[in-house]
Every structure is written in structure tokens, then in C-alpha cells.
């Protein structure tokens, strides 16, 4: 993994910017054992026990290795039910990062979504964004509203190398807001754009998005679960941004919106936690009343005080440039290694994950037979890797009895923060040749059980 800071000599290897003080053994299984495990799990890696997974790339959410400072902060947590000192420290940390005046803690991102949309969204409403991720879309649709994706066309092409493929199409957004102004309770933007491959959104695009929403008096809410990674891409790729600090870029990002919601299990660097933060008090009372009903008192929001303490520290650690440089280098290194082995990935590499283009890699498997899920299963069988399909299992649909595939068939290898080392990644890349050699033998799947919401979590399959 290569990376260097300005003014330092070039190096071929980037070191992990941390020391390891505690280790956990990796589970080891044989291919034969994994075949039985996968069959029993209905060919769905979400239902495979972690004890049977060697490399867990299912998600980067809540899988972070926390730092010594975070663990130390947890030891002084004030677990008072109401008004704890830990909440005060958490509240101050969120306000320092966002610049917003009102902070509402939740146990994770989807709880923040559920709260916000329960208050704002009504039947028949429409909520635009670049791309809504799975839980965001599900929570909007649960309110009988429409989640509209308006990402730029370059963001739909896996091989396009546009530096900000997460951008929202401003012309489409303007037209959408003009047409549906009275039906849009809030406008959104997701940074980075997970559904589109962990792709960043430019500062220019965030500002343009803000101007359009505010032109039509639509509140602007950003999903900021990977705000620090997005800021690093802005610094690295956007003209005129290289000499700015990450904190300065982050502050400008937040200044354009009216509020945000966050799954802090990503760039909060914690195992559990989330929040809503708002500039104005307009919805605060309603949100806190709903919070009390479903999550807990407003000064803990479903979290132990030790979780609030860890999050207060983690928000700062996520903006460390040495860490971010290493983090982005991991994804770039893995994408290059997979490409060299003959496995196409979405370009350019994103921040938290590498996205394999399963449609290009397995053209003999049609979308209705879920090529991404077929590759997810093979990655587990061959390497003990647990990955996540982001394609027609997650986003495919049926309309009037006709199957409508996802625009892209991707497999996401999401990398937990500060967990795996370069030797782990090198070991994985060495084994990819076997998968490439066997790719034409891989078969599609048939879905045998489909739940009504977020089906990828619990659906079951059979091999065709």
C-alpha cells in the first residue's frame, strides 16, 4: 500500500499508523466445512456465524478496533440515567464537528432515520438524494413515500473514473424540486455514496445541492456516516483544496446543510452509536418525544454512557490525516491487486471498501440469478471471506410480475477500521487466482425466501 504525506520521501509501503496491544485469533475452516455451513445458512452470508468467518468484510459498520484513548474514556463514563457528564462530552464533541446547536443521540443510524422520517415524512412524499442506502430507503418506503436517486450518470458506470461519482445530478435535482416542491419534506445527500461504490461527493456539488434545496425552501439533511473519508477525497481530488485541513473541509461541508444524521459505527470509530444534529430547534421537541418513546432519555438515546464517551473521542480520531491516508490506501491497494488478478472493480476505488463488478466478472449469470450473490458465496468458499452483495438481491424489484434488476451488480468488500494488516490483504490477493480460474463454473441462485423489507439480511437461496 503506497502513500506519502507532502514533503516526505516516496515509500512503496504504508505502515498501519497504530500499534497493536491486543490480538484476537482468526477462525480457520476448510472449504468442505464452509460448503456445509453455507448450505445450512441458505447461501446468505448474513446468517453465517462469525466463528466460521476468517476475514469479515461484510460491513465496516460497528466493526472498528477502538483506540487506547477510547477505551480509557469509557472507564470514566457517567452512567447516570439523565444529564450525565458523558452526554455533555458527547454533545460538545458533536457540536464541535458539525457546528450545529441541537444533538439527539440514537443507538445507530437506522434509529436516527426512523426518528427523522417518522416526524417529517408522510404518505405520498418524495425524498431526493444522490443514492439512498438500504436502511434509508426502507425507512422512507415504510412511511409510504418515495426515495428518489439522482446520482450523476458517471456514478452508474463502474469503469468511469470521474473523481466524484457520488455527486448528485444538479440539473435533475433542480427539475425534481421544481416539480414536487410541495411534496418534499427534506432533501438529502449521502457522503460518501455507499450504494454507488463508496464514491465521494465534491465540495462544489454539496454547495450546489444546498443552494437548490434552499431555493425551494426544502430542509437539507446530510447522511454523514463517512464524512471524514469524504473530506479526505475532497482534499486529495478537488482543485484548490490540497492545502486545507480535514477539519476545515468538514466544517464547510456541515455549514451548507440544515442538519445531519449519522451512523457513528462508521466514521465515529465505535461499535455502536449514532445521532441527529440540527441547526435549528424546529423539529427538536418532536424528535426528543419520539426518542423517549422508542430509544431512551434524550441524554443517552439508547446508548450506555461509555458508548457516548467512545464516540466523543472517535469523531476526532476519524479526522486524523495519517489515519485517513492509510485508510484510503488500503482500498486502493486491494482494488489494484484484484484488477491485476483479473477481477474488475468499480473505479476509482472508494474509501471504506472495494466493490467488485460482478456483472462484468460473471457475464454468464443473468441478473435474475444474482451474480453478486454467487460471487459472495464463492469468496466465502474459497477464502473464508464474508462480503456483501449490493445488486439485485439488495435493490432488485418486481413490478407487474416483471423482474427489474439493479443498475449495477456489485460485491462489496468493506474493510473494518484498524482491524486487518497488510499481510492479511496480501494473503487474500494470493488466493484470488483460484476464483478467477473457476469463474465460468460458478452458478446463479434462486431466492427461496423473501422477507418484506431489507430482504438481503434474511433471504434464503438455493444453487441453480
Quick check: is 148 in a domain?
yes
Of 299, 317, 335, at which residue does a domain stop? Answer: 317
The domain that holds 337 is classified in CATH as 3.90.1150.10
Whether 9 has a pLDDT exceeding 60, the answer reads no
Tell whether 341 and 280 lie within a shared domain. no
C-alpha cell at 404: 427489474
- The CATH number covering residue 145 comes to 3.40.640.10
Same structural domain, 47 and 158: no
Range of the domain at 180: 68-317
Integer CA distances (angstroms), 119 to 136, 235, 277, 291, in order: 14, 35, 14, 11
Q: Which of 284, 317, 350 is the last residue of a domain?
A: 317
Q: Which of 409, 390, 401, 328 is nearest to 132 (CA)?
A: 390
In a domain, 4, yes or no: no
Tell me if 14 is assigned to some domain: no
Pick the closest to residue 192 from 232, 155, 152, 226 (CA basis): 226
Distance in angstroms (rounded) separating the CA atoms of residues 174 and 215 = 9
- Which positions ≥6 away from 460 have C-beta within 8 Å? 42, 43, 44, 47, 447, 448, 449
Do residues 91 and 232 share a domain? yes
Considering the domain architecture, whether residues 312 and 325 belong to the same structural domain is answered as no
pLDDT at position 267: 94
Q: Who contacts 21 (Cβ-Cβ below 8 Å, separation ≥6)?
A: 68
Residue 11: pLDDT band by 50, 70, 90 thresholds?
Answer: low
Does residue 3 carry a pLDDT above 50?
no
* Of 20, 47, 6, nearest in space to 456 by CA: 47
Q: Higher-confidence residue: 272 or 458?
A: 272
Which of 298, 317, 336 lies at the terminal end of a domain, its last residue? 317
Q: Are 125 and 270 part of one and the same domain?
A: yes
Residues 427 and 371 in one domain: yes
For the segment 310-367, what is each residue's pLDDT rounded down to a tens digit? 999 999 999 999 999 999 999 999 999 999 999 999 999 988 899 999 999 999 999 9
Structure confidence at residue 197 as a pLDDT band (50, 70, 90): confident
Are the beta carbons of 102 and 278 closer than 8 angstroms? yes
Query: What digits encode the pLDDT tens for the residues 127-144?
Result: 999 999 888 998 899 899
The residue behind cell 475532497 is: 234
Output the pTM of the full model.
0.90
Lowest model confidence (mean pLDDT) among 46-60, 295-309, 371-385, 440-454 = 440-454
In terms of domains, do 198 and 91 share one? yes
Same domain, 225 and 86: yes
Are 226 and 336 members of one domain?
A: no
CA distance 192 to 230: 5
Rounded to an integer, the average pLDDT of 138-167 is 92
Rounded to an integer, what is the distance from CA 99 to the centroid of its chain? 23
> From its phi and psi, is residue 198 left (phi > 0), alpha (psi between -120 and 50) or beta?
left
Cβ-count burial 122-138 (b if 16+ within 10 Å, e if not): eeebbbbbbbbbbbbbb
Do 262 and 401 reside in the same domain of the chain?
no
Taking a C-beta distance cutoff of 8 angstroms, is the pair 261, 223 a contact? Answer: yes
Q: How many separate domains does the chain show?
A: 2
Q: Are residues 312 and 340 in the same domain?
A: no
pLDDT of the residue at 203: 97
**Cell numbers that stand for 436 in this block:** 478467477
Amino acid at each position: 500500500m503506497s502513500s506519502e504525506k507532502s514533503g516526505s520521501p516516496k515509500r512503496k509501503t504504508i505502515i498501519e499508523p497504530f500499534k497493536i496491544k491486543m490480538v484476537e485469533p482468526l477462525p480457520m475452516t476448510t472449504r468442505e466445512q464452509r460448503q456445509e455451513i453455507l448450505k445450512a445458512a441458505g447461501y446468505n452470508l448474513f446468517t453465517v456465524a462469525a466463528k466460521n468467518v476468517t476475514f469479515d468484510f461484510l460491513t465496516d459498520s460497528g466493526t472498528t478496533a477502538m483506540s487506547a484513548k477510547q477505551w480509557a474514556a469509557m472507564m470514566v463514563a457517567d452512567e447516570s440515567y439523565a444529564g450525565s457528564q458523558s452526554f455533555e462530552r458527547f454533545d460538545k464533541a458533536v457540536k464541535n464537528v458539525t457546528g450545529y446547536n441541537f444533538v439527539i443521540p440514537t443507538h445507530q443510524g437506522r434509529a436516527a432515520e426512523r426518528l427523522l422520517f417518522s416526524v417529517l415524512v408522510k404518505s405520498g412524499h418524495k425524498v431526493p438524494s444522490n443514492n439512498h442506502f438500504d436502511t434509508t430507503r426502507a425507512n422512507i418506503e415504510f412511511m409510504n413515500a418515495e426515495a428518489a436517486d439522482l446520482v450523476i450518470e458517471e456514478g452508474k458506470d463502474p469503469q468511469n473514473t470521474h473523481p466524484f461519482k457520488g455527486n448528485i445530478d444538479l440539473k435533475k435535482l433542480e427539475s425534481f424540486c421544481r416539480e414536487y416542491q410541495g411534496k418534499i419534506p427534506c432533501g438529502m445527500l449521502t457522503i460518501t455514496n455507499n450504494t454507488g461504490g463508496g464514491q465521494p461527493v465534491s465540495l462544489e456539488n454539496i454547495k450546489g445541492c444546498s443552494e437548490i434545496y434552499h431555493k425551494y425552501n426544502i430542509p437539507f439533511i446530510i447522511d454523514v456516516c463517512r464524512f471524514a473519508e469524504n473530506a479526505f477525497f475532497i482534499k486529495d481530488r478537488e482543485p484548490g483544496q490540497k492545502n486545507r485541513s480535514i477539519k476545515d473541509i468538514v466544517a464547510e461541508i456541515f455549514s451548507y446543510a440544515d442538519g445531519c444524521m449519522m451512523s457513528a459505527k462508521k466514521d465515529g470509530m465505535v461499535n455502536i452509536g449514532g445521532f441527529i444534529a440540527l441547526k435549528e430547534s424546529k423539529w427538536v421537541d418532536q424528535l426528543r418525544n419520539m426518542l423517549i418513546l422508542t430509544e431512551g432519555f434524550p441524554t443517552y438515546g439508547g446508548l450506555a454512557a461509555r458508548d457516548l464517551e467512545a464516540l466523543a473521542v472517535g469523531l476526532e480520531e476519524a479526522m486524523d490525516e495519517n489515519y485517513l491516508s492509510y485508510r484510503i490506501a488500503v482500498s486502493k491497494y486491494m482494488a489494484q491487486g484484484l484488477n491485476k488478478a483479473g477481477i474488475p472493480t468499480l473505479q476509482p476505488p472508494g474509501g471504506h471498501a472495494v466493490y467488485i463488478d460482478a456483472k462484468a466478472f460473471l457475464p454468464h449469470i443473468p441478473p435474475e440469478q444474482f451474480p453478486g450473490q454467487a460471487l459472495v458465496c464463492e469468496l466465502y468458499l474459497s477464502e473464508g471471506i464474508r462480503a456483501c452483495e449490493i445488486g439485485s438481491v439488495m435493490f432488485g424489484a418486481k413490478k407487474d410480475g416483471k423482474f427489474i434488476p439493479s443498475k449495477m451488480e456489485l460485491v462489496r468488500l468493506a474493510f473494518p477500521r484498524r482491524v486487518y494488516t497488510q499481510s492479511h490483504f496480501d494473503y487474500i490477493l494470493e488466493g484470488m487466482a483460484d476464483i478467477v480460474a473457476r469463474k465460468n463454473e460458478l452458478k446463479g441462485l434462486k431466492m427461496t425466501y423473501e422477507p418484506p423489507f431489507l430482504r438481503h439480511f434474511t433471504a434464503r437461496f438455493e444453487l441453480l
